[in-house]
Amino acid sequence: MITGTKITTDTLTSRRRFLIGSGGPILPILDPRKETMKIRKIPLLLALAGMAISFALPIFAQQTNTPDTDKVLFKFQDITNANDPTFNQELGINNAGVIAGYFGSGAAGHPNKGYTVVRPYNTQLDFTNENFPGSVQTQVIGINNRDGFGFDRVFRGTTVGFWSNMNNANMVNNNFGFVNIGGQDGRFINVNNPNTGTINGVNTNQLLGVNDRNIAVGFYVDTAGATHGYTYDIAANTFSANIDDPNGVGATTPAAINDHDQIVGFYTDGNGVTHGFFESDGVFKTIDAANAMATSLFGLNNFGEAVGFDIDTNGAMHGIICHVVTGACEEQDDPNGIGTTTFNGLNDRGQIVGFYVNGAGNTIGLLATPAP
């Protein structure tokens, strides 16, 4: 167990290679969510055919004030794909408990490889590969509740993410968004905002979340190196106007969208500080964890609960659960990754996915389920 580990820039770089957009963006590869500061970070599949999904309000939605993790017990479970037990990140989870993620650090010779995984998450048979056709690297990030499973327990709904045709040693790689409908043998759609720029021969575009209306959310980097969010209507094949927090125009990353078309993500202000945000009907609200140096939000459910991570004054990283109405956040760490935990996604049942770094420096995927 790691206790009070200080997060350094090198540690963050090894945990997630995201796109940074200061100057000409350093485009390390695939790894949702690295932030500026420099810590921008980001970003399960189950249900038997014919099974009805029913559940009560998630644990925090039953409260009338703020999420109080001191009163909520979570059962934490490691999620590890045997193809690379040293590096796994779980990035999205739907209401059936199907998880989207990937293995592989993205270093040269260790490419990101996407997958989905279903309960009980403890054998290799529970994992299904999902990689954009012809790609060198793929991250599967967002997953919704549409469609479902065949009798083989393979999820055939909608997932989103991004892929690359490169795996360079300097981790400067193209990133292209994608939508997939139908699993590994389904219909993959390459999705790139038409305003995406080319900087030193590199393009940066990622899809990070998708709701049950098949509206995806993501971001692109323009020719000036600025980061802008957008939504993508899968059925209509149309892009929205830029989504920019007014406090971070050109430095905004939307990361999740719920069925009310509400969005959470993060932006970097003029002083280089990263803040979480919640957007609804064009109105932006900043959400900062108390006493944190930086806050980023990556997951949002239909009950106004968001998850992400913060960085405390000692440089340690903690998973956070926030209520978007009150703006209050509570820290919660995997017991095996105290000070190195990131929450990346959650569903309407209150289940949370993410990852932590263990004492050996390995990145381990996690699932946190509220205890009954």
What would the pLDDT profile of 268-305 be if each residue is shown by its tens digit? Answer: 999 999 999 999 999 999 999 999 999 999 999 999 99
What's residue 153's pLDDT?
66
The answer to whether residue 218 sits within a structural domain is yes
Per cent of the chain over pLDDT 70 is 79
The answer to whether residue 194 sits within a structural domain is yes
What's residue 152's pLDDT?
57
pLDDT in tens, 200-254: 999 999 999 999 999 999 999 999 999 999 999 999 999 999 999 999 999 999 9
pTM: 0.85
Tell me: pLDDT of 39 over 60. Answer: no
The arithmetic mean of pLDDT across residues 99-121, rounded, is 97
Find the CATH number of the domain harbouring 184.
Answer: 2.120.10.30
Domain that holds residue 44: 9-370
The answer to whether residue 2 sits within a structural domain is no
Of 141-150, 280-289, 335-344, minimum mean pLDDT range: 141-150
**Lookup result for tokens 């060198």:** 136
Work out the burial of residue 147: count CB atoms within 10 Å of its CB; fewer than 13 is exposed, 13-18 middle, 19 or more buried.
middle
Residue 372 — very low, low, confident or very high, per pLDDT cuts 50/70/90? confident
pLDDT in tens, 66-84: 444 446 789 999 999 999 9
The answer to whether residue 4 sits within a structural domain is no
* Sign of the torsion formed by the C-alpha atoms of 212, 115, 161 and 350: positive
Domains in the chain: how many in total? 1
The answer to whether residue 1 sits within a structural domain is no
Alpha-carbon dihedral of residues 309, 101, 261, 346, nearest 10 degrees?
Answer: -50
The answer to whether residue 3 sits within a structural domain is no
pLDDT in tens, 152-176: 567 778 999 999 999 999 999 999 9
The answer to whether residue 284 sits within a structural domain is yes
The answer to whether residue 24 sits within a structural domain is yes
